Chain A
Amino acid sequence: MRRGILNQLFLLILLTGILPGAIAQVTIKGVVKDNKNTPVTGASITIKDSYDGTTTDSTGHYSFKTYEKGQQVLLVTSIGYKSSEQTIKLEGNSLTIDVVIRQEISELTAVVLSAGTFEASDRKRAAAVLDPIDIVTTASANGDITQALKTLPGAQQVGESEGLFVRGGTAAETKTFIDGTLVNNFFFSSVPNIAQFGRFSPFIFKGTVFSTGGYSALYGQALSSALILESIDLPEQTSANLGLSVLGGSLGYQHLSKNNKSSFGGSYSYTNLAPAFAVIKQRQDYSIVPNYHNADANFRIKTSKTGILKYYGYFSSNRLAFTVNSIDSLGYLDKFALSNTNHFHNLSWREYLPKKWRINAGLSYTNNKDDIRSAMQNNAGNEVLLTGLEAKTFNLAMNGNYFNAKLVLEKKFKGLSGIRFGTEYNFSKDQTDYTAFNGQLYPGSFKETISAVFAESDIYATNDLALKGGLRMEHSKYLDKFNLAPRFSLAYKLGKGSQASFAYGIFYQNPERRYLPSPNELSFMKAAHYILQYQKVLNQQSFRAEVFYKKYHNLVKTDFVGFSEAAVSTAGFGDASGIEFFWRDKKTIKNFDYWITYSYLDTKRDFLNFPFAITPNFAAKHNGSIVTKKFIQKIKTNFNLSYTYSSGRPYYNIRYDGSDYKFTDRGTIPDFHNVSFAINYLPSIGKKDAKSFAVYVLQVSNIFNLKQTYGFQYSFNGARKEPIVPTSRMFVYIGAFISFGIDRSNEVIDNGL
């Protein structure tokens, strides 16, 4: 019995010995803060591999009890932060453990290197300033990418020729890239005093980056601006579509393979302006109304889970011929005829490689043929040769072959930091055969190879500070020179949704092909950009203000060499400065979206045949636009109205008096105003299981029929001048687009929801 009690006592001692260790709970408490000493709310604290833990309160404090003992790992996690692990010893005493967790640098929260760029894509998710859909639904854009971009600050409202004139730069100073590689003939071939449209449908692109300066070292040969377009990957589903409008018709088909790994497709469109011109009187008298056969083909193949190979091919054949009353000789007509064929092939491949490497490769080939006939005509329709005006009669046959290749390798480090480097190769061969009035042929051939290497690094120090540094080196075979272009940008987060950024860069470009070859030695044209930006993006509202200064060196100076204007030196110079504002609001009024922009530009340059530095005729001091979009659900209709304004641009008549280039006339054209309106009606919206979807479009440009003047042109002898005006004042476009199998109407209705 005694032994039994002892035994029991022993047991008791044994048990009490175990007891504290077995059931005693230990309290662990503390505070969780981030590296800026701000308490983190809702962070999760766990003893690893146990159920024990808790989350922090609104002051970052936590406290919990655990039965665990000995050496354990305390794990702290929170969305948007890097997790933290630390070893703790649980020995029966309460512990106070304060933890610091670092913000995880992610695309969603980090600052954006945005100085000088407008991104229109979903990549930056909610931060995107403009969506691709915005481009299509801007009333004044007529479905043209660059027309839509003209409603953004930085671009001029130049109507007499195509292209983007950015911040005091010429249209040639803006280059376009598709999937990384240069596009040589982005627009239809130039016609005197009539701006041409871009060749490519906005629907083939999923992302648009419009840089008005300070862009990345991956791109070069553009003094002012880069338009970087990214083509779509696989389509959502197999579909066919049909389009019919006052301008022509189109047919297309896209096939998506059953395993969703590849697709192919193509489309054909025919555009003929005859019906439209029959109704809307044109200034020109057309003998061949502009007509276009355009076709494209594509395939896209997923080469792995993360890789894709894409091909896009484009073919176009188009013709036009017209006469206008000759400014040089009363009673006679000036004739212009153009026939163009163009084909463009773009092949690109992108793939993620092991160890966070990524490869982007692209090849493109373009062949562009222009046949231009210029002559004078009498009223009977016969070509005539007038003494003193023989130079107005000529044939110009141009055949351009362009080959571009680009390779970019990218390696990502922790967070968003990374490096990128690669090489670019641009080859061009232009054959230009000029046949003078007397049948004398002046053949011209020009070859150029520009090769480049570049490297760039993104450094995200924290979510609040990002830097990008880059260097680009180019070699031009024709100039026989190298250049070295540093680029730098920085962004700093100021508060929730607001940030400041800065960009600096040196940009080089070869003298324009049309002024080459030159009898003299030339160098690269050069521009330096300085851009300072403030941006605030909140839910559904964004504001940005940008100040810039741009300095031009080595601009081309021209003179007459034989028959044609050619570069004689690169001694030109210039500068541009300005301030720009952008405000967009989708929030204040329900189902109503608008943006307002204003740009101020002060620029002067001495280039081409300018006698001295002057404000060029393509630069208006004030530019502005208001774009509005309203979707009314009840009637399934989208109403878009836009207004663009630019103050009067200067115009000049510069003539050579035997020793110098002098002004014989100069002045300022009237202010430019344009109001355009578009209605999209989407009757099939929401019809469940509808097999086809239709979009009806009515677009009226210049609805108030305002008089618009783009500039002046002068007669050969300079005695007469005439305003350059649009081919017609108001223009009306009506069209219907039907697609089968896929609801494209969603692409067209705007941000109504």
Chain B
Amino acid sequence: MKKIILLAFTAILFQPVFSQSEKFIGAMKKNIAEIDSALSRNEVARLNDIAATFERIGDAEKNQWLPYYYAAYCQVTVAFIKNEVANNDVVADKVDQLIAKADALEKKNSELSLIKAMNTSLRMLVNPMQRWMQYGQKIQEYTQDAMTQDPTNPRPYYFNGVSLKSTPAEFGGGCGTAKPILDKAMELFATFKPASDLHPVWGKVVCEKEAAGCK
């Protein structure tokens, strides 16, 4: 009896009253896994939900930048998949807000710089000819920042490579210029060690595919 009561007691005690960090780590892990599963099943709407969840976590925690990072990452990813360029400015405004919150907590982070590059590229896609002058250089700057801030981070190389691959060869893009950069990204993916279980590790699988598409 005593044992049962004790068991019940501990169960009750521990179920709703996780320590704050355990709750945070648990929720983050669960949702990071959700991103992968949503992407693998191509559930775009689900990514929006996950973005909202991350934003909730960020707002509740108040001093964690990673939830905002993932919220921004999900929003950007959805916009790239949907490719409704007329809507990109609205999304990019939202992402800017998320990045600003993350930036306030984590200065000069390579992963955040990369999200900035990706978000700027969303804006440029609205009207590439008109906006190239304004945003083209910004994208390069942010990508370069991401590379310098963490030279071991493969994602800036991945993003740069993919962008180049989709640029016509006449404009200095295509596989010729993209391949070495994608290869460099693959090299970095092989050795990349995230700072914690919650830090970003995405990109390897797609990068492999993109690199393989450039023979």
Contact = CB atoms under 8 A, between A and B. Distances in A.
Contact of B131 (A55, A108, A122, A237): A122
Contact of A688 (B57, B86, B133, B172): B172
A753 interface: yes
Contact of B56 (A8, A23, A51, A128): A51
A23 B129 contact: no
A67 B27 CA distance: 15
Contacts of A750: 129
Interface stretch (B89-97, B108-116, B155-163, B183-191): B89-97
A539 B12 CA distance: 57
A415 to B, nearest CB: 15
Interface in B32-73: 45, 48-49, 52-53, 55-57, 59-60
B149 interface: no
Contact of A55 (B1, B48, B128): B48
A15 interface: yes
A109 B89 CA distance: 10
Nearest to B28: A51
B148 interface: no
B60 A44 contact: no
Contacts of A55: 48-49, 52
A584 B134 CA distance: 24
Interface size class for chain B?
35 or more
Given A8-B5, A19-B12, A686 B132 contact: no
B86 A50 contact: no
A746 B137 contact: no
B213 interface: no
Contacts of B171: 633, 685-686
A49 B59 contact: yes
Interface in A8-42: 8, 11-12, 15, 18-19, 22-23, 42
A590 interface: no
Contacts of A42: 45, 48-49, 52
B85 A539 contact: yes
A79 interface: yes
Interface residues of A, number: 48
A539 B5 contact: no
B60 A50 contact: yes
B2 interface: yes
Contacts of A753: 128-129, 168
Given A46-B56, A109-B90, A750-B129, A22 B5 contact: no
Contact of B86 (A48, A126, A636): A126
Contact of B59 (A18, A48, A125, A539): A48
Contacts of B177: 688
A221 to B, nearest CB: 32
Given A23-B12, A686-B169, A133 B129 contact: yes
A749 B94 contact: no
Interface in A118-149: 122, 125-126, 128, 131-133
A44 to B, nearest CB: 4
Contact of A22 (B12, B56, B89, B168): B12
Interface string A94-114: 000000000000001100000
Nearest to A122: B130
A401 to B, nearest CB: 37
B170 A12 contact: no
A746 B170 CA distance: 13
B127 A131 contact: yes
A720 to B, nearest CB: 52
B23 interface: yes
Given A53-B52, A126-B85, A753-B168, 20 more contacts: A19-B12, A22-B12, A44-B56, A46-B56, A49-B60, A52-B56, A55-B49, A55-B52, A108-B89, A108-B90, A126-B86, A126-B126, A131-B127, A132-B130, A237-B137, A539-B86, A685-B171, A749-B129, A752-B129, A753-B129
